[in-house]
Chain A
Amino acid sequence: EVQLLESGGGLVQPGGSLRLSCAASGFPFRDYAMSWIRQAPGKGLEWVSSVSGSGGDAYFADSVKGRFTISRDNSRNTLYLQMNRLGADDTAVYYCAKGLVPSVVGLNWFDPWGQGTLVTVSS
């Protein structure tokens, strides 16, 4: 069974940093692109970032470009999201999701999703 388990969320002050992790199991991790999608309280889904199976190709939403970094450790079956210079607009539940193929180009497949981890940016 494919499982994704996010961790690392919490309360952080504006301007601070946080690193999220997503532990994957039940599938050949390196063979699939992985993504982060977030959902602000009471709002819709917003794609954040995706990384190719090899980790060599990454894409970011304009809202996080230059502040967030996505990476993966295929030896540990783990996806990461390093978030810097956090602001109130980054407050959200962050989900990781598995892609369909190794490539990110053309990606709109997110299945399954983890249970999410809440990031709250507040002083």
Chain B
Amino acid sequence: QSVLTQPPSVSGTPGQRVTISCSGSYSNIESNTVNWYQQLPGTAPKLLIHNNNQRPSGVPDRFSGSKSGASASLAISGLQSEDEADYYCAAWDDRLNGPRFGGGTRLTVL
């Protein structure tokens, strides 16, 4: 099991808003920043959110991140079919002395 816990799957209809949670602990999320990665089918992952809530250039503002205590969330509003992908959170873990990924969440757009 990963030290960062994500739901295996979430789903939504076009236009809807969905959230993906990432639960950790003091040694990772609470003490360090969280990044989110998007992996479209058959492609390499891409940085989606950094420093908890910052979007790299080119990422639509439909994607937003937040962090509170030892948990983080990724929200996607105005859901589109092209958002169908796997999403991963990541954080450095001070106890394990290395970065860790969440188990990943598959987003299905119904």
Q: What is the interface of chain A, defined by CB distance below 8 A to chain B?
A: 35, 37, 44-47, 50, 59-62, 95, 105-116
Contact = CB atoms under 8 A, between A and B. Distances in A.
A103 B35 CA distance: 17
Given A59-B98, A95-B45, A115-B44, A108 B34 contact: yes
Interface stretch (B11-19, B61-69, B76-84, B87-95): B87-95
Contacts of B97: 59
Nearest to A48: B98
Contact of B90 (A59, A61, A110, A112): A110
Among A110, A114, A115: residue with most chain B CB under 10 A: A110
Given A106-B92, A109-B35, A110-B90, A50 B99 contact: yes
Contacts of A95: 44-45
A107 B94 CA distance: 11
Nearest to B47: A111
Nearest to B39: A45
Contacts of B56: 111
25 contacts: A37-B45, A44-B2, A44-B102, A44-B104, A45-B39, A45-B88, A47-B90, A47-B99, A47-B101, A50-B98, A61-B98, A62-B96, A107-B92, A108-B32, A108-B33, A108-B34, A108-B92, A110-B35, A110-B45, A110-B90, A111-B50, A113-B44, A113-B45, A113-B46, A116-B44
Interface residues of B, number: 27
Given A45-B101, A45-B104, A47-B100, A114 B35 contact: no
